[in-house]
Chains A and B, each alone.
Chain A
Amino acid sequence: MRIIVGILCSSLWLIYAGQVISVVNFRLAQRLGLQEKQDNVDPLSSRLELSAARWDLLWLWTLPSAGILMLIDHPWWPFAAMIGGACYVDTGGREAAKALGLKQQGVRTGSPGEQRLVMATFVFFVAIGGLAIVTGLVEAT
C-alpha cells in the first residue's frame, strides 16, 4: 500500500512541472492545455489562475515529496504524508468552492470541457490527499 500511494503521490511532480510552466510562460501553458484557453475565460479568471500558479509553487511540492519519502521508507513519511495530504485536501475543497462560486456569479472560467477537467483535478487532489492522510495515520498510530 505504501509503495502504491508513494508512486501516486510522486506522480504529482508532473502537476508541479505544469505550474512551473504556467508561472514562467502563461501563454505557453494555455497553448499546451495546462490552463484554460484565453478565449474561454474572463480576464479576471486568468489573473486568478496566474496568482494560483505562483502560489502553487510554494506548497504543491509537499505531497510529491512525501511520496518520495514513502518510496524510500523514510521514518518521517507518515508525518510528511499527513502534512502534504492536508494541503491537497484543503486546497481541493477551497479551490472547488471558489470555482463553483465564480461560475455561479457568471464569470467565464473556461469551456465546459475545461471546467470538468478543473473540477476533476480538485476531486483528485482531495482523493489523493485523503489517501495519503489515511495511509500516514494507519502507519503512525
Chain B
Amino acid sequence: MEVTASTWGIAIAGLLIIAVLAGLQLVAALRPRSSWVIKNIYGGRPEATDPKAYFAFNQGYAWADPFFWAPLQIAGSIGMLLGERWGFLLALMASVPFWYSAILIFIWDRDLGFRRNTVFYWVIVWGTFPVFGVLEGLFCFVRLLE
C-alpha cells in the first residue's frame, strides 16, 4: 500500500502517544502505590474517593496498556510505514482503545477523582485519545477500502 505523508503522520503520532502512555503505565504497573505514580500518572487522590476502587481501576489500565495495547499500536505503525496491509489492519484494531477507554474514563473519572475542569485536562490528558483514535480508525478504514 502507498505510504503517504498522512500515513507517516498517523503512524508517528501513534508511536509517540503510545510510547509515552505505555512508558508511564509500565512504571505504574511496577510501582502501583508509589506517591510519584499517584501524583504524576493516576491523577486525583486515593483518599478523595474510594481507595480500593481507585487502585483497582488504575491497575487494570496499568497492565492492559503496556502489555496489550502498546504492542498492537507499535506493530501497526511499523506495518503502515512499511506499506503493508497488515499494518493498516493492526492499526485499525489499535485505534479502538483510544476512543473506547476515553469514554469509559469520561463516565468514571468524576467518581474516581481524576477529572479536572481545565483546558489541559480536557484537551491533552483526555481529549488527545478519542481524537487520535477516531482519526486513526477512519484513516485506516478508508485506506483499507481502496
Contacts and interface: CB of A to CB of B under 8 A. Distances in A.
Given A97-B64, A140-B89, A79 B141 contact: yes
A73 B87 CA distance: 24
A85 B93 CA distance: 8
B92 A82 contact: yes
A59 interface: yes
B2 interface: no
A87 B96 contact: yes
A83 B56 contact: no
Most buried by B among A48, A95, A104: A48
B107 interface: yes
Contacts of B108: 48, 51
Interface string B90-120: 0011101100110110011001000000000
Interface in B40-99: 50, 52-53, 55-57, 59-61, 63-64, 68-69, 85-86, 89, 92-94, 96-97
Nearest to A109: B56
Contacts of B141: 79
B52 A107 contact: yes
B86 A141 contact: yes
Contacts of A107: 52-53, 56
A135 B113 CA distance: 40
B93 A86 contact: yes
B59 to A, nearest CB: 5
Interface of B: 50, 52-53, 55-57, 59-61, 63-64, 68-69, 85-86, 89, 92-94, 96-97, 100-101, 103-104, 107-108, 111, 137, 141, 144-145
Interface of A: 44, 47-48, 51, 54-55, 58-59, 76, 79, 82-83, 85-87, 89-91, 93-95, 97-98, 101-102, 104-107, 133, 136-137, 140-141
25 contacts: A47-B111, A51-B107, A55-B107, A58-B103, A59-B103, A79-B141, A82-B89, A83-B137, A85-B93, A86-B93, A86-B97, A87-B96, A87-B100, A90-B68, A93-B64, A93-B68, A98-B57, A102-B56, A105-B53, A106-B52, A107-B56, A133-B93, A140-B89, A141-B85, A141-B86
Given A47-B111, A76-B145, A91-B100, 15 more contacts: A48-B108, A55-B104, A58-B103, A79-B92, A83-B96, A86-B96, A87-B96, A89-B68, A93-B64, A93-B68, A94-B64, A98-B57, A101-B55, A105-B53, A141-B89
